[in-house]
Amino acid sequence: MGFGHDGDVAVDLIVPMKPPAAGKSRLRGALHGPWDERRHAALVLALARDTLLAATASAGVRRVLVVGSAPATLDALRDLDVEVVGEEAALGLNGALRAGERLLRVSDRGATIGALQADLPALRAEELAAALAEADDRRCFAADRHGTGTTLLVSAPGQPLDPRFGRGSAREHAESGAVPLRLAAPTLRGDVDTPADLEHARLLGLGTHTAALLERECVPH
Ligand SMILES: Nc1nc2c(ncn2[C@@H]2O[C@H](COP(=O)(O)OP(=O)(O)OP(=O)(O)O)[C@@H](O)[C@H]2O)c(=O)[nH]1
Ligand SMILES: C=C(OP(=O)(O)O)C(=O)O
């Protein structure tokens, strides 16, 4: 349980996403010019694409399930090694994560389930793998670089994920008994909610899709 055939940890990850044009509203000032739905959605999808490429390349990751509130808006991600499903109803962020967990447990009741944010464009597979290894069958979380949000929550094998994402989620996860991961993992903690976060991720080293999009959009650096 929680281990792959080779004896390594094996985690099924859920990545929740709103429609890209609607999500990440605090990032609306990141691109130049008047806000444009199509360009904003392209940025949000680029962030997700880089996140998902790192997640699927990470040791210790078995499946990656993207749970979208409107999955048709996520078609651009279907060429990746991920599954894309929709919520049956508007469930909210934690409801969508619980729905993803139920779906994954149909295949493996004893699975180790993780929730990963979709806005980690500098994420390195090695850092995610190290975080999953440190979790070591305990319910654990990685706080974001500000210490307030959560970028990764992992269940114990076969045990509830019990997601408490939202404002102040790092504290909520700690108070619910999840163990804070200690490793530095700056790219895992570098979620992008604001233009300042995007600049921080750029300093860490953006994934190729976000970097190319910013280059096309002529965002100075
Ligand atoms: N499937 C699903 N994903 C959600 C839902 N609400 C939020 N998310 C996703 O969860 C992640 C974190 O959500 P939030 O912190 O609310 O981010 P956001 O709403 O995209 O960003 P802001 O508009 O800037 O607050 C983002 O990737 C969202 O797209 C939901 O109801 N269903
Ligand atoms: C919902 C969360 O993320 P964000 O930083 O995108 O608000 C969270 O950290 O729980």
Ligand 2 atom 9, closest CA: 149
Instruction: Give the atom of ligand 2 at the shortest distance from the alpha carbon of 165.
Output: 10
Instruction: Compute the distance between CA of residue 93 and CA of residue 221 in angstroms, rounded to an integer.
Output: 33
Helix axes 195-204, 208-216, angle to 10 degrees: 120
Instruction: Give the atom of ligand 2 at the shortest distance from the alpha carbon of 172.
Output: 10
Instruction: Compute the distance between CA of residue 221 and CA of residue 53 in angstroms, rounded to an integer.
Output: 24
CA of residue 14 relative to chain centroid, distance: 8
Q: How far apart are the first and last CA of the chain?
A: 46
Q: Are strands 140-143 and 150-154 parallel, antiparallel or unpaired?
A: antiparallel
| Ligand approaching nearest to the C-alpha of 145 | 2
Instruction: Give the atom of ligand 2 at the shortest distance from the alpha carbon of 148.
Output: 9
212: left (phi over 0), alpha (psi -120 to 50) or beta: alpha
ipTM, two decimals: 0.96
191 close to ligand 2 (CB < 6 Angstrom): yes
**Which of 93, 120, 123 gets mutated to test ligand 1 (max ligand atoms within 8 A of its CB)?**
93
Look at residue 12 and give its three-state secondary structure.
strand
Helical (H) or strand (E) element with 210:
helix 208-216
Q: Are strands 11-17 and 179-180 parallel, antiparallel or unpaired?
A: unpaired
Q: Are strands 11-17 and 61-68 parallel, antiparallel or unpaired?
A: parallel
CA of residue 195 relative to chain centroid, distance: 18
Residue 198 has which token pair?
Answer: 């995007």
The residue behind tokens 């965002």 is 219
For ligand 1, residues with CB inside 6 Å are 16-18, 23-26, 67-69, 87, 92-93, 96, 117-119, 193
* 150 annotated as ligand-binding: yes
Q: What is the DSSP string of 112-176?
A: EEEEE-S--TT--HHHHHHHHHHHTTS-EEEE-TTSSSEEEEEPPTTS------STTHHHHHHHT
Exposed/middle/buried for 184, CB within 10 Å: 0-12, 13-18, 19+? Answer: exposed
| Ligand approaching nearest to the C-alpha of 197 | 2
pLDDT tens sequence for the chain (221 residues):
344 445 567 999 999 999 999 999 999 888 888 878 999 999 999 999 999 999 999 999 999 999 999 999 999 999 999 999 998 778 899 999 999 999 999 999 999 999 999 999 999 999 999 999 999 999 999 999 999 999 999 999 999 999 999 999 999 999 999 999 999 999 999 999 999 999 999 999 999 999 999 999 876 65
* 166 annotated as ligand-binding: yes
Taking domain 11-215, whether its CATH number is 1.20.1250.20 is answered by no
Helical (H) or strand (E) element with 103:
helix 92-107
Instruction: Give the atom of ligand 2 at the shortest distance from the alpha carbon of 151.
Output: 9
Type of residue found at 47:
L
Look at the pTM and tell me if it is higher than 0.90: yes
